[in-house]
Structures are given as structure tokens and as C-alpha cells.
């Protein structure tokens, strides 16, 4: 069984990395999440998370969403193209159970992969 980690090089770390993704991204959206992506030259995908207090008031709720998003990314990273991805949570995400959130993210990863391959 393959081991997949979520190491430092798989994360968007600086405001400049996030800003690069926000400039003219490829989008995949649902009522609860928006994924923005932009191709990179690194040979692997990277993930950034934006879970605002406006969407989820309590830190434990925000942390749950981030934890699920990181895990979903960790498991699918080998199937994703070489892109920088920012996951943005919207209001109502707190009501979505973990298993449905995994399925939603899986659908959005596939949509994003398709759109990135089409634009390349």
C-alpha cells in the first residue's frame, strides 16, 4: 500500500503563494466550498486552506473542516495535476458531516483536474 504524507512542500505557505492562485484561477465550486487552482512548475500539487470565521465561528469547527480537507488532499494528491489549490469554505459548511465532505471534495478534485487539463 502506498504511503502518502502531507509534508511542508505540499502546502501553500506564504501570502505570495496564495496571491498567485487568486490571480486568474481555474474554479470548481459547490454551495459549501470553492476550489481555486493555478498550474505550478513543481511537479506536484500544493494545498492552501481558507476557512474564515465568517463561515464558521468556532475554532474547533474551522479545524474540523481543515482536517478533513487536508486528509482528502493527502489521499488524492497522486491523482491531481501539478497545481496550487486553495480551498475556501463558505457558510453552511459546518452542517455537512465528514463523510459527505469527503465525497464533496472528491467530486471537486475531479472537476478541478478536468478543467486544469482542458485549459493546458
- Give 16's DSSP letter: H
- Give 118's DSSP letter: H
The predicted-structure confidence for 10-52, as pLDDT tens digits, reads as follows: 889 889 999 999 998 999 999 999 999 999 888 889 999 999 9
Please enumerate in sequence order all residues whose Cβ is within 8 A of that of 71, keeping only pairs 6 or more positions apart, or say none: 102
Region of residue 92 (phi > 0: left; psi between -120 and 50: alpha; otherwise: beta): left
The CB-side HSE value for 28 (13 A sphere, CA atoms) comes to: 19
The predicted-structure confidence for 55-82, as pLDDT tens digits, reads as follows: 889 999 999 999 999 999 998 888 888 9
Amino acid at each position: 500500500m502506498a504511503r502518502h504524507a502531507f509534508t511542508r512542500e505540499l502546502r501553500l505557505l506564504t501570502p505570495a503563494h496564495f496571491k498567485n492562485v487568486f490571480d486568474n484561477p481555474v474554479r470548481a465550486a459547490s454551495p459549501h466550498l470553492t476550489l481555486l487552482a493555478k498550474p505550478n512548475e513543481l511537479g506536484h500539487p500544493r494545498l492552501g486552506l481558507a476557512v474564515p470565521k465568517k463561515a464558521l465561528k468556532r475554532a474547533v469547527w474551522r479545524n474540523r473542516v481543515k482536517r478533513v480537507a487536508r486528509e482528502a488532499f493527502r489521499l488524492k494528491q497522486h491523482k491531481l495535476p501539478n497545481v496550487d489549490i486553495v480551498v475556501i469554505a463558505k457558510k453552511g459548511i459546518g452542517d455537512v458531516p465528514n463523510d459527505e465532505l469527503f465525497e464533496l471534495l472528491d467530486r471537486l478534485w475531479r472537476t478541478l483536474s478536468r478543467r486544469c487539463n482542458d485549459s493546458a
